């Protein structure tokens, strides 16, 4: 019989699977309290402000006390990526397309609300109970579509990637993410002007033609809800076509 792979200690704590010692004084802290403190710091200062010392100060203990619950900052990021996620909406018979549209929008909005999560979500695979519940509910919504398990996973992965990409674009153009301010243009309104100064009609004929229509004017249109909906519908149209071919 194959031996089960041991789980990282922070993942065991996230799932409540760590043995509880009955000896000694009752712990003053728990992982949820530490995670909430770290999320509060990240929301206010970005990930640069999150350190073991800063979190310890926020919860009123010495930094060494945190290592009873998280072995490293990487473990803390894993807990934060799960702790910031709200419960997913339940499918409850909602048509798969309507549900996944709502599912993706909520994920995008969460990334806009917590800009630091953009960096963490790319580095930390879903291991916690909350993020995996989102994955489960999206797969549930695709029941009865005729898609095989691999196709369902690919659909969910594509929608998750779209939420990440759209939120990153918005933060990059608006400077809303403290981790990305250095990379952003001074603002979305300047992006069109920057492009106009860079491209020439001979080398970039198609881009120049598009810019001349004013569709990129100020780049405000790149960060509005209409463009997000357009891209989301495009993806869901593809999923619908795939389901149709399977049928």
pLDDT of residue 19: 61
Is 91 domain-assigned? no
Cα torsion angle, 115, 83, 138, 101, sign: negative
DSSP string for the chain: -PPPPPPPHHHHHHTT-SPPP-SSSPPS--HHHHHHHHHHHHHHH-GGG--HHHHHHHHTS-HHHHTTT-SSHHHHHHHHHHHTPPPPPP-TT--HHHHHHHHHHHHHHHHHHSTTHHHHHHHS-S-SHHHHHHHHHHHHHTTTS---HHHHHHHHHHHHHHHHHHHHHHHHHHT--TTTTTTS-S-HHHHHHHHHHH--TTT-HHHHHHHHTTTTGGGGGGGSHHHHHHHHHHHHHHHHHHHHHH-
**Does one domain contain both 110 and 55?**
no
Predicted confidence at residue 124, as pLDDT, reads 72
60/143 same-domain check: no
* 110 and 77 co-located in one domain: no
Number of domains composing the chain: 2
Q: Is residue 157 part of a domain?
A: yes
Q: Is residue 113, in this structure, part of any structural domain at all?
A: yes
User: Tell me, what's the pLDDT at 223?
Assistant: 55
Rounded to 5 degrees, φ, ψ at 90 are -85, 140
The CATH number linked to 234 is 1.10.357.10
One domain, residues 34 and 139: no
Predicted pLDDT of residue 36? 97
| pLDDT confidence of residue 24 | 45
Q: Does one domain contain both 235 and 178?
A: yes
* Boundary residue ending a domain (23, 58, 83): 83
> For residue 182, what pLDDT is reported?
41
Greatest Cα pair distance, the chain, in angstroms, is 77
Domain co-membership, 79 together with 102: no
In order along its 247 residues, the chain shows pLDDT tens digits of 445 667 888 888 989 887 655 554 456 789 999 999 999 999 999 999 999 999 999 999 999 999 989 999 989 999 999 999 999 999 999 999 999 999 999 999 999 999 999 988 777 778 899 999 999 999 999 999 999 999 999 999 999 999 999 999 888 777 654 444 344 445 555 677 777 778 888 899 998 888 887 766 554 555 568 889 999 999 999 999 999 998 7
What is d(CA 55, CA 94) in angstroms, rounded to the nearest whole number? 41
| Entry pTM | 0.84
**Is 155 in the same domain as 235?**
yes
In which domain, by residue range, is 79 found?
A: 9-83
Q: Does 156 lie in the same domain as 75? A: no
Same domain, 169 and 101: yes
**Do 71 and 104 fall into the same domain?**
no
CATH number of the structural domain spanning residue 62: 1.10.10.60
């Amino acid at each position: 019989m194959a031996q089960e792979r041991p789980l990282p200690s922070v993942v065991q704590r996230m799932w409540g699977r760590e043995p509880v010692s009955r000896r000694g004084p009752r712990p003053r802290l728990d992982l949820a309290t530490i995670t909430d403190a770290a999320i509060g710091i990240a929301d206010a200062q970005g990930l640069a402000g999150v350190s073991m010392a800063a979190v310890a100060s926020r919860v009123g203990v010495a930094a060494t006390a945190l290592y009873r619950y998280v072995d490293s900052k990487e473990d803390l990021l894993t807990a934060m990526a799960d702790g910031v996620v709200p419960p997913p909406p339940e499918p409850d018979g909602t048509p798969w397309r309507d549900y996944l549209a709502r599912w993706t929008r909520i994920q995008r909005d969460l990334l806009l609300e917590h800009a630091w999560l953009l960096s963490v979500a790319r580095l930390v695979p879903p291991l916690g109970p909350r993020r995996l519940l989102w994955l489960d509910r999206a797969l549930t919504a695709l029941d009865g579509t005729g898609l095989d398990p691999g196709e369902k996973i690919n659909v969910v992965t594509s929608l998750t990637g779209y939420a990440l990409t759209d939120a990153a674009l918005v933060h990059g153009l608006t400077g809303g993410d403290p981790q990305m301010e250095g990379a952003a243009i001074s603002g979305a309104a300047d992006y069109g002007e920057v492009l106009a100064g860079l491209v020439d009609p001979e080398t970039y004929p198609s881009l120049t033609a598009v810019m001349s229509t004013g569709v990129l004017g100020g780049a405000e249109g790149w960060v509005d809800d209409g463009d997000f909906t357009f891209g989301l519908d495009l993806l869901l149209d593809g999923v619908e076509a795939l389901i149709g071919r399977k049928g």
